[in-house]
Amino acid sequence: MHRTSLLNRVQQSPYCQPMPDLGDALALPCGRTLTNRLMKSALSEGLGTSTGAPTARLGRLYDAWAGGGYGLVVTGNVMVDPRHRGEPGNVAVEDERHLEGLTRWAKGFADSGTPLWMQVNHPGRQSNPLVGRHRPVAPSAVGANVPVAARPRELTDREIHEIVERFAVTAAVAEAAGFDGVQVHGAHGYLVTQFLSPLSNRRTDAWGGDPERRRRFVVEVVRAIRERVAPGFAVGIKLNSADFQRGGFSEEESRDVVAALVAEGIDLVEISGGTYEAPVMFGPDTRRASTREREAYFLEYAASVRAQAGAVPLAVTGGFRTRTAMAAAVADGECDVVGLGRPASAYPHVGRELVDGSRERIELPVVRVGAGRGLVGRVTTLHTVDSALDLSWHTDQLHRIGAGRAPDLDRPWWRTAVRATLRNGPGAFVPKRG
C-alpha cells in the first residue's frame, strides 16, 4: 500500500483522533454543546434580596462573566427552600414568584453563546438559622464539627420526599426562566453530602444504613429533575470524591454514586472533595510532589472513575493555576472540563485569556490572618479561619464587580474580616460556599 494512503487511513481511524484542546467544543449527552473546555465553577455570590430574589448587582456580575470566554458558567448556590439558606444573600427558588428577575438573569447569557446553569442546593445542617430563623434539618440529628454550628433536627420520610420535589420544582422554574441546565450541589458538606456520608447519615430506614440507601436521596433528586424538564435541558452534579474524614464517604462509594447517576441520565460530573469539617482545598498543601506538579486536587480520582462515567464528561475543579497544566489534563483525557472558581472572581475574563493563550498563569493573593496565637487560636483553628477569610475575600471581589467596579487584588485581609462579620454575623468564619 502507498505510504500516503496508509497515513491517511491511520489519521482517519477512530483510534487516532487529535488530542482535545482547551478551545475545543464538547457535546453533552442531552444534546447541548459546551463551546470550550473551561467552566466558571460555582461561587456563592450573596447578591440576592432578603426574600431570595436576584438583584441588579447579580445581573451585572453575570454580564461580566457572559463575556468571559467560558464554555460553561454555573451560578452559585440557589436554595430550593427559602427557610433554609446557607448564608445571607442566597437566591432561593421554590416557585415562580421571582420568575421575572430570574428571566432577566438568564437573558444576559442568551446572546453570549455560553450555557448558563443554575446550581441548586439545600444546605441541610449547614443552613444559617439567622437567615431563615428555622432550625437546620439533616438526615440525622448530628451536628457539624465546626464553630457555631447548630444541632439539626432529623428529617421525616415525608419531609425528605418534599425536599426531592423542591429540587425538581426549582429546576423547572430555572428552565422556564431560560437557564440551560442545573447542577445539583452534592459536595462540601451540604444536604446531598450529608445523606451520602455514614458520619452524618445514621438512619436505618429506606434513606440510610448502607451505601445503596444513603445514595437514594441524590438518585431520587436527579430522577425527579429529569422527569420535570425537557430532554435537552442539562442536568449535572457537583460531587465529592470523598469527604476526607475517617469513617466517612469514601472514593469507592463515590464511584458507585457516579455509576448510579449515569444510569439516571446525568450530563456532567464535576469532581470536588472535602467538607467544611475537612476543607482539603485550603490551608497547608499536603499533596504529593507529583500531584502538585499537575496542580489539580482530584485528577487521580477522575481517572479512577472514568469507567463508571462512560460517555458522561468529567470536570475537575480546584488547584489549576497554569494553562499548561489545564491543557495537559484535557489532552491526556484526565478530565474533559477544567473548572475555575476563585480565579474568575479576580479575573472575570480569565476563560477567554486562557483559551486564546494570552494568559499562562493565574496569580492570586494569599489571604491569611497570619498568626495562630491569641484569641483566634483558642476559639477555632487558624486553618478554618483562613479558609473562610479567603472565601470571603473572593466574595468581596464578586460584590465589587456587581457594583460595576473592578476587582481589588490589593484588598487587605482585615477589611474582608470586618465586612464578613457585618455580613454574616457570628458565623462569618464558618465557610459556606459553592
* pLDDT higher than threshold 70 for residue 194: yes
Nearest to 30 by CA among 185, 217, 177, 236: 236
Put simply, whether the predicted model's pTM sits higher than 0.85 gets the answer: yes
What pLDDT sits at residue 17?
64
All residues at 6 or more sequence positions from 232 whose CB lies less than 8 Å from its CB, including other chains: 30, 31, 32
What digits encode the pLDDT tens for the residues 333-344? Answer: 999 999 999 999
> Residue type for 2, please?
H
DSSP 201-254: ----STTSSSHHHHTHHHHHHHHHHHHHS-TTSEEEEEEES---STTS--HHHH
- Whether residue 373 is found in the same domain as residue 419: yes
What digits encode the pLDDT tens for the residues 202-253? Answer: 999 999 999 999 999 999 999 999 999 999 999 999 998 866 556 667 888 9
Segment 320-346 shows an average pLDDT of: 95
Which of 134-143, 185-194, 201-210, 382-391 comes out lowest in average pLDDT? Answer: 382-391
What digits encode the pLDDT tens for the residues 390-428? Answer: 888 999 999 999 999 999 999 998 888 888 777 666 555
Picking from 359, 380, 412, the residue at the C-terminal end of a domain is 359
What digits encode the pLDDT tens for the residues 264-305? Answer: 999 999 998 655 544 555 444 444 544 445 567 789 899 899
> Residue type for 32, please?
R
Question: Residue 183 — very low, low, confident or very high, per pLDDT cuts 50/70/90?
Answer: very high
Q: How far is CA 316 from the centre of its chain?
A: 10
Chain mean pLDDT for the chain: 86
Q: Distance (Å, rounded) from C-alpha 111 to C-alpha 108?
A: 7
What pLDDT sits at residue 129?
78
3 lies in some domain: no
- Whether residue 271 is found in the same domain as residue 383: no
* pLDDT higher than threshold 70 for residue 361: yes
What digits encode the pLDDT tens for the residues 4-19? Answer: 443 344 344 445 567 8
- Whether residue 348 is found in the same domain as residue 376: no
- Taken in order 70, 193, 118, 392, the sign of the CA dihedral is negative
223 lies in some domain: yes
Picking from 326, 359, 392, the residue at the C-terminal end of a domain is 359
All residues at 6 or more sequence positions from 350 whose CB lies less than 8 Å from its CB, including other chains: 68, 69, 340, 343, 344, 359, 362
Q: Distance (Å, rounded) from C-alpha 434 to C-alpha 432?
A: 7
Q: What backbone phi and psi angles, to 5 degrees, belong to 165? A: -65, -35
388 close to 420: Cβ distance less than 8 angstroms? yes
- Whether residue 354 is found in the same domain as residue 376: no
Crossing angle, helix 56-66 and helix 99-107, to 10 degrees?
20
- Whether residue 27 is found in the same domain as residue 110: yes
- Whether residue 35 is found in the same domain as residue 110: yes
Q: Which domain holds residue 395?
A: 368-429
315 close to 115: Cβ distance less than 8 angstroms? no
- Whether residue 268 is found in the same domain as residue 411: no
274 close to 244: Cβ distance less than 8 angstroms? yes
- Whether residue 198 is found in the same domain as residue 68: yes
What digits encode the pLDDT tens for the residues 368-398? Answer: 775 444 444 444 455 667 777 888 899 999 9
What pLDDT sits at residue 273?
66
Q: Distance (Å, rounded) from C-alpha 197 to C-alpha 221?
A: 17
What pLDDT sits at residue 370?
58
- Whether residue 300 is found in the same domain as residue 422: no
Q: Half-sphere exposure of 147 toward its Cβ, with a 13 Å CA cutoff?
A: 18
Q: How does DSSP classify residue 273? A: -
CA dihedral 407, 408, 414, 417 (to 10 degrees): -10
150 lies in some domain: yes
Picking from 339, 359, 379, the residue at the C-terminal end of a domain is 359
Buried b (16+ CB within 10 A) or exposed e, 282-301: bbeeebeeebeebbbbbbbb
- Whether residue 143 is found in the same domain as residue 290: yes
Q: Distance (Å, rounded) from C-alpha 66 to C-alpha 349?
A: 9
97 lies in some domain: yes
Segment 40-46 shows an average pLDDT of: 95
Instruction: Give, for 375, the enclosing helix (H) or strand (E).
Output: helix 374-379
* pLDDT higher than threshold 60 for residue 367: yes
- Whether residue 190 is found in the same domain as residue 254: yes
Q: What domain count does the chain have?
A: 2
263 lies in some domain: yes
434 lies in some domain: no
- Whether residue 134 is found in the same domain as residue 233: yes
Which of 53-62, 65-74, 136-145, 400-409 comes out lowest in average pLDDT? Answer: 136-145
Q: Distance (Å, rounded) from C-alpha 239 to C-alpha 184?
A: 9
What pLDDT sits at residue 371?
43
Q: Distance (Å, rounded) from C-alpha 256 to C-alpha 276?
A: 23
Q: In this structure, what CATH number is given to the domain that contains residue 209?
A: 3.20.20.70
Nearest to 28 by CA among 66, 73, 72: 72
% residues pLDDT > 70 (the chain): 82
4 lies in some domain: no
Segment 75-91 shows an average pLDDT of: 95
CA distances from 124 to 62, 141, 150, 195, 221 (A): 27, 11, 11, 10, 15
* pLDDT higher than threshold 50 for residue 3: no
Q: How far is CA 227 from the centre of its chain?
A: 23
153 close to 139: Cβ distance less than 8 angstroms? no
Nearest to 341 by CA among 302, 288, 397: 397
